[in-house]
Amino acid sequence: MGEFSADWLALREAADHRSRSPELAGEVARSFANQERISIVDLGCGTGSNLRALAPLLPREQTWRLVDHDEALLSAARDAISRWADDAEERSGDLFVTRAGRRLRISFVCANLARDLGTALGTACDLVTAAALLDLVSVEWIGLLAEEVARRKAAFYAVLNYTREERWSPLHPADADLFRTFHEHHARDKGFGSPAGSDLAAAVRRAFTDRHYRVRTADSPWHLGAEDAVLVQALATGIADAVRETGSVDAAVISDWLRHRLSGATCTVNHCDFFAAPSA
């Protein structure tokens, strides 16, 4: 159903994990350090990368609710988490795993976040999290999300939100045209209304401070070098495909740009992280 394949999510996982802001991750860990147990909802969970990054920072007893609208990704998440775990067992549809001294109970929920956010979140939780999701959503949806999170008195941690800024090396004469068109393509409605784009950080800050949350933001850029060649090539191919789909850049220019990018390019792709916690 979705436009995100399990292969693409697996390819980006290592870069995602090392790019998260360590300052914000440390703050999240400190916020819950005095608790024995915690319940977490992961929105747009894909194959569970966010859980694998975050679980080691959280209290020993964890209850996770993984939400996505793509059944195939939820099934891949079950498999990937079972492989990652020290021990895994299925009971009544939930997955029970242990990993490095932590015990996780994980439920998998297929829901469309654009339509059924309240249902997707469930009744109560301590932390709502999402990775690589907020660049898909509108300012209005961020307001609805903040309202639902605040109603549950939960904290909110969203990482790796693409800011539509990148630097590729070496330069190519078509870079400006290609990226302008790619950003236009990225600005298309993904089911949540018009994506917030450059208003994202301000929208998150406003939505949560209005509800008496303290909000911190930090950069989490991908720095992709020679050792990330496969990811760089997949990224360049995805950009070229998206630009081709618009029909607004000459096909020969796109092919030349892609050829150039497939032979040893490096890049920095900017993202940002947010952590919002209720004021005491």
Ligand X SMILES: C[S@@+](CC[C@H](N)C(=O)[O-])C[C@H]1O[C@@H](n2cnc3c(N)ncnc32)[C@H](O)[C@@H]1O
Q: Which residues are near ligand X by CB under 6 A?
A: 2, 4, 9, 16, 44-46, 49-50, 68-70, 73, 112-114, 131-133, 136, 191
Distance CA 119, CA 2 (A): 20
Least separation, in Å, of the C-beta of 99 and ligand X?
Answer: 18
Least separation, in Å, of the C-beta of 278 and ligand X?
Answer: 24
The smaller minimum CB distance to ligand X, of residues 69 and 152, is found at: 69
Label residues 117-133 b or e (16+ Cβ within 10 Å = b): beebbeeebbbbbbbbb
The smaller minimum CB distance to ligand X, of residues 134 and 236, is found at: 134
Partners of 155 in the β-ladder: 127
Residue 28 token pair? 């999240």
DSSP state of 56: G
CA atoms within 13 A on the CB side of 13: 20
Least separation, in Å, of the C-beta of 126 and ligand X?
Answer: 19
Token pair 């990018």 in the structure block, residue:
261
Closest of 7, 57, 21 to residue 270, by C-alpha: 21
The smaller minimum CB distance to ligand X, of residues 165 and 256, is found at: 165
Least separation, in Å, of the C-beta of 71 and ligand X?
Answer: 10
**Consecutive H or E run containing 13:** helix 6-19
The smaller minimum CB distance to ligand X, of residues 131 and 155, is found at: 131
The smaller minimum CB distance to ligand X, of residues 76 and 258, is found at: 76
Token pair 């990482």 in the structure block, residue:
159
Least separation, in Å, of the C-beta of 103 and ligand X?
Answer: 22
